[in-house]
Amino acid sequence: MFGKKEEPEVSDVMTQRRPSNVDAINQQYRRSISNTGLTGASALTVKQSIIPITLVTLLFFLWGFAYGLLDVLNAKFQNSLNITAAKAGGLQGAYFGAYLIGPPTYSGWIVRKFGYRWTFITGLCIYGVGALMFWPSAVKRSFAGFCGSLFIVGSGLSTLETSANPFIATCGPPRLAEFRLELSQSFQAVGSVIAPLLASRVFFKNTDPKDLTNVQWTYLGIAAFVFLLSVVFYFSPIPEVTDADMALQAEQSSGLTGYVDRPMRKQYKLFFGVAAQFCYVGAQVGVASQFIKYSVESAGISDSAGSDRYAIAQGLFAIGRFFAAGCMMYIKPRWILMFFMTMIMIFIAASMGAWGESGVATLSIVLFFESCIFPTIFTLSIRGLGRHTKRGSSWIVASVSGGALFPSITGLVADHKNYHIAMVIPLVGFLVAFAFPIYLNTFCARELDGFRETKIGYHDEDGTIGDAEYEERRASIIDAEKGVGEKGILHEEKGIYSNGS
């Protein structure tokens, strides 16, 4: 939407001077780089991308930790302010609604105009402001202030996702994109599991449920930490992978993928991916938001016991991401997506009829298979976007707003029926998302497999494949061989060239 003029034209990209990947590393401390210019980052090697990938993976872990802490802090607010279930749905709407607004507008524009570094910094600062806003909201015990604070926090996190997800996917050899994002988001899942456990056993142990003092100080600590982290990212080595770099990389891979540059309006795989991600995230949040109540209804246990079951399910979710990341080193991601979505469909349907602890276990298995879906849909959807990569990525992130719709509908059905029947709402969302891997495996197999087979960013005897210096060296070798061949023909014509003498 915003920042369309910041996208390059392929004809302009192909006529630019080609920097090498060494140039990209040397420029990684630059504060501003044009999105229409080449940086050499299209052929970064695994070794060159390790440090920036590690930094952003740390960011994934830290905001996963903060996100997990938000669930606990929000629960404290709800108990203290006697927030009803209907109002709790409004809190989710405020948080996930920010995803609908930010990525297609200001977040997407910032990442195209100023690059990944400044988008990281902007997202962290917005997040910090939102955390600070919880202090006056707690003092005034204001539900409206709480919703506004959550909206600002959601705006910050959506801005971070607008930059972090495509950065991880594009920083390094393209054939490892799905593996990199899956692995990085695995650490985000670990942070989300650790935070609630630490909060219940350290931060809020033996405290009055109505007392918000610890909540206020915890949010203040989060704000101080993320502001400090924004300073760290200002000075960190972050190579800029521009849309021009992605256009070049797509052109270099076209022999394997069949890539043809198309306008944004014809990126049908992306549009399907956005719809699938919207429905998947909505269904995922719908399951998560009702998991504890489902457990209480199914097994006849207390809310605290249901919370323990949910912690186990979250642990399975984190394990599933690491498992899927390992599988992606050997199995095509489109097959993994198909298998995991199939398992989700089977177990979410089974959870509607299963009661007792078996019902809880069935729904926990759903979380295990949910683990790889978001990052895999993300990376497969932006494959082959070329010069539209950053804008397409922002649309995928915007689809997280599905989390604002499905939980409310799921809760409404649960109120009128029961939590088992309410799982039909996530089932519908998963069904729409399930159509996406069917589409990929039917119509996009060559393109996706081509990107997996490309050796860009890998070494051979002439250097790094896809790099400017590599292609110059190969061209000189070909020219030299061509010259020798022409000389041999000339000698032969004169009767001088015979048997190599």
pLDDT per position as a tens digit, 146-192:
889 889 999 999 999 999 999 999 999 999 999 999 999 999 999 88
φ/ψ of residue 259, rounded to 5: -60, 135
SS3 459: strand
Contact 60, 42 (CB under 8 A): no
φ/ψ of residue 379, rounded to 5: -65, -40
Rounded (10°) CA dihedral 439, 441, 444, 448: 130
Integer Cα distance of 54 and 76 in angstroms: 33
pLDDT above 80 for 80? no
Residue 220 has what pLDDT? 87
Integer Cα distance of 147 and 26 in angstroms: 44
Residue 150 has what pLDDT? 87
Residues written for the chain: 501
16: left (phi over 0), alpha (psi -120 to 50) or beta: beta
pTM comes to 0.90
Q: How many helices (H) and strands (E) does the chain have?
A: 22, 2
Residue 205 has what pLDDT? 65
Contact 20, 468 (CB under 8 A): yes
SS3 464: strand
Residue 120 has what pLDDT? 94
C-beta pairs of 330-335 under 8 Å, 24+ apart in sequence: 332/448, 332/449, 332/452, 333/178, 333/376, 333/379, 333/380, 333/448, 333/452, 334/380, 334/437, 334/440, 334/441, 334/444, 334/445, 334/448, 335/441
| Tokens 């997800």, located at residue | 165
Residue 334 has what pLDDT? 98
SS3 383: coil
pLDDT above 90 for 89? no
Contact 310, 428 (CB under 8 A): no
Tokens encoding 167? 């950065």
Tokens encoding 425? 């709402």
CA distances from 369 to 146, 285, 313, 314, 321 (A): 33, 14, 11, 11, 9
Tokens encoding 332? 């095509």
Strand partners, 464: 459
Q: What is the CA radius of gyration of the chain?
A: 25
Residue 29 has what pLDDT? 64
Query: To which H or E segment does residue 434 belong?
Result: helix 424-443
Integer Cα distance of 213 and 157 in angstroms: 25
Integer Cα distance of 360 and 354 in angstroms: 8
End-to-end CA distance of the chain: 67
SS3 173: coil
- Average of per-residue pLDDT across 275-283: 96
Integer Cα distance of 266 and 263 in angstroms: 6
CA distances from 236 to 124, 228, 257, 287, 375 (A): 14, 13, 34, 38, 25
Q: What is the percent of the chain where pLDDT is above 70?
A: 88
CA distances from 96 to 196, 222, 283, 471 (A): 20, 20, 13, 46
Q: How many CA atoms lie within 13 A of 4 on its CB side?
A: 5
435-463 pLDDT, tens digit per residue, is 999 999 999 999 999 999 999 999 887 78
Contact 256, 453 (CB under 8 A): yes
Residue 69 has what pLDDT? 72
The pLDDT-based confidence of 490 (bands split at 50, 70, 90) is: very low
Integer Cα distance of 427 and 120 in angstroms: 35
28-57 burial, b for 16+ CB within 10 Å, e for fewer?
Answer: beeeebbbbbbbbbbbbbeebbeebbebbb
Tokens encoding 189? 């899942």
Q: Which amino acid is at 436?
A: F
377-430 pLDDT, tens digit per residue, is 999 999 999 999 999 999 999 999 998 888 888 888 988 889 999 999 999 999
Integer Cα distance of 433 and 101 in angstroms: 22
**266: CB partners within 8 A, 6+ apart:** none
How many Cβ atoms from other residues are within 10 Å of residue 124's Cβ? 27
Q: At what angle do helices 116-140 and 143-170 cross, to 10 degrees?
A: 160
Residue 411 has what pLDDT? 83
Q: For residue 236, what is the DSSP state?
A: S
Of the given ranges (66-70, 75-79, 320-324), which has the lowest mean pLDDT?
Answer: 75-79
Query: To which H or E segment does residue 463 belong?
Result: strand 463-464
Contact 467, 476 (CB under 8 A): no
